[in-house]
Structure 1
Amino acid sequence: MSHRNAQLTVFGRLLLVERVVSGRPVAHVAAEMGISRATAHKWMRRRRTEGQAGLHDRSSRPHATPRRTPATTEARVCELRRTRKLGPARIGPILGLPSSTVHRILTRHGLHRLAWIDRPTGQTIRRYERERPGELIHIDVKKLGRIPDGGGHKVRGRDAGRPIRGMGFDYIHSAVDDHSRLAYSEIHPDEKVATCAAFLTRAYRPQTNGKVERFNRTLLEEWAYLRPYTSNDERTTALDTFLHTYNYHRCHTALGGQPPISRVNNPAGQFTW
């Protein structure tokens, strides 16, 4: 597998092969490209045996793992996890395995977190996901207290006589696309029928609210409560910056470490709500 400090990319390996095939010595080409002769011969060998596909990155996992835990033992580990909900520290002594080995087995089978297991049946919870952007939208509303001019408690403390109570609330209406996790939010003074209907008109129609609940947690941690704001307007203005970062730059574990925009199949790179 290539890494950030690798001398050769796929293009560099192809260039290496072309230079050697043209008749130049392997040692000379290797010196020009800053690699060892052994590395140069390795890529030439892969090119001969596997064709051009052999120049691409591949898994560094060994072809054989003779010391891997037997399949029957792994099955027993998974059974104890599903039926008795035991952790690595409890399963290890029962089967005579180190707890670290048990943890690797549970991770390999997606059982290392009890939250991912249905308690009554012991089956792994399968997370659904729609195939296309815009096919399923999650909708929710989050209620936040408004910030008085000059800042709230976090900025000025709980001074007597300050108009903290009675400031009212902002209602953050949010929609999250099921496939891409692309998010869209608006701030409104209420959550009445007319307000919600108008928001839904601008953001498709509601189907369910599963993923948007997780988005609300991110919304609070990385925008609403990220830092003390000195006014409600300052917090409102910061929402646009947060949404841009979330959609275009924030890595998402469910998307393989890519931002939501990477899943939007649109040549212009934009998602139409």
Structure 2
Amino acid sequence: MNVHKNARLTPRGRERIVRQVGSGQTPQAVAEAAGVCPRTVRKWVERYQREGLAGLQDRSSRSHRLRRPTPETVVAEIERLRRQRWTGKQIAAETGVSPATVSRVLHRLGLNKLSALEPEPVRRYEREHPGELIHLDIKKLGRIGSVGHRITGRYPGVVNRHLGIGWEFVHVCIDDASSVAFVQVMPDQRKESAVAFLEAAVAYYAGLGIRVQRVMTDNGSCYRSRTFRAACKRLGLRQIFTKPYTPQTNGKAERFIQTSLREWAYARAYNTSEERTAELPRWLHRYNWHRPHGSIGSKPPISRLGLARDNLLRLHS
């Protein structure tokens, strides 16, 4: 039996006080010895007299008479009004029941949230022209000393010989309109590396005939630095920031990072970080220009960009 730590009486203790009262002791004396009030002693004596030893067992605290269930006609009316996007208080005033009853019925029907009525369609925004906005982000990857646990699995007792080998940082950039991406692996995520990557990204898109106008970043210190803001001004870019703790604002960069991890960084076993970095240009070229239709971010870049033929030839040369 699960008895709370401060319980004065257990069923056996209740039986003892009942027998003490039956032997002639007063309820006041028995209550004082047991550390309870005389009313408690009289309660258990009366239950024993009515039901015997069974009356000394624990009982459910559930009331003997349950509340009247809400009539089905009222429940149907509550559901009908809710599907018209009425609030709980409006429904309560219309149906004549309490707001608590309306809340309980809506929760039982699974309609307590307005989003459950008609899930909002996915709203995908997209800039009209390439270069209007590029998304920047950084992904931190552990350096590779040998094939790791993602491929071989973890084994108990095995010492990680490459613990503390360090990190490398994948700086990513993706165009909002065309989804054409540019990636570089940098040694850190400091402001100098962020500026160098921004200049390389702008030059890359310029080689495709695209003039970058805006850059969206998160609120990382390297992007908030004066050096990065000065670089944006020098390159003629307007910098905008995502809302703090809202990664979906920068969702295209976040989605691209997940795709790159799945299809490049963790796609196969690499023996060294250099081997993984060497594979990046080949994968990125395939992502931008040869990715099959139907994949995430697989809209055909060439048709979207409307690039001149000489730019395409220069890109593929």
Runs of 4+ with deviation above 6 angstroms: 117-121
> SS of 2:183's equivalent?
strand
- Paired with 1:225 and 1:256, the residues of 2 have a C-alpha distance of 19
- Paired with 2:160 and 2:122, the residues of 1 have a C-alpha distance of 50
CA contact (8 A) 2:179 2:297 kept: no
1:120-174 CA-partner distances (Å, limit 9, x unpaired)? 98543421111111111011100110000x4333359768455221110110000
Change over 3 Å in CA distance of 1:160–1:257 after alignment to 2 = closer
Correspondence 1:137 to 2:178: no
Change over 3 Å in CA distance of 1:171–1:118 after alignment to 2 = farther
Q: CA deviation at 1:251?
A: 2.9
Which of these two proteins has the greater Rg computed from alpha carbons?
2
Name which of 148, 151, 170 aligns with 1:152: 148
For 1:91-102, list aligned pairs within 5 A.
none
2:284 corresponds in structure 1 to 243
1:202-246 CA-partner distances (Å, limit 9, x unpaired)? 224522532010000100000001011111111010101110110
Name which of 258, 279, 288 aligns with 1:217: 258
Q: CA deviation at 1:197?
A: 1.4
1:174-198 CA-partner distances (Å, limit 9, x unpaired)? 0000111001000011000111111
Name which of 188, 194, 201 aligns with 2:186: 188
For 1:6-85, list aligned pairs within 5 A.
none
Change over 3 Å in CA distance of 1:232–1:128 after alignment to 2 = same
2:5 corresponds in structure 1 to none
Q: Normalising by structure 1, what TM-score?
A: 0.50
1:233 corresponds in structure 2 to 274
Name which of 177, 200, 222 aligns with 1:202: 200
Identity of aligned residues (%): 42
1:8-42 CA-partner distances (Å, limit 9, x unpaired)? xxxxxxxxxxxxxxxxxxxxxxxxxxxxxxxxxxx
Query: Which residues of structure 1 form unaligned runs of 5+?
Result: 1-78, 84-116
1:72-126 CA-partner distances (Å, limit 9, x unpaired)? xxxxxxx96x96xxxxxxxxxxxxxxxxxxxxxxxxxxxxxxxxx9679854342
1:27 corresponds in structure 2 to none
Q: CA deviation at 1:259?
A: 3.1
Query: Which residues of structure 2 form unaligned runs of 5+?
Result: 1-81, 86-113, 203-213, 218-249
Q: CA deviation at 1:257?
A: 5.7
Task: Write the letter of the residue equivalent to 2:134.
Answer: I
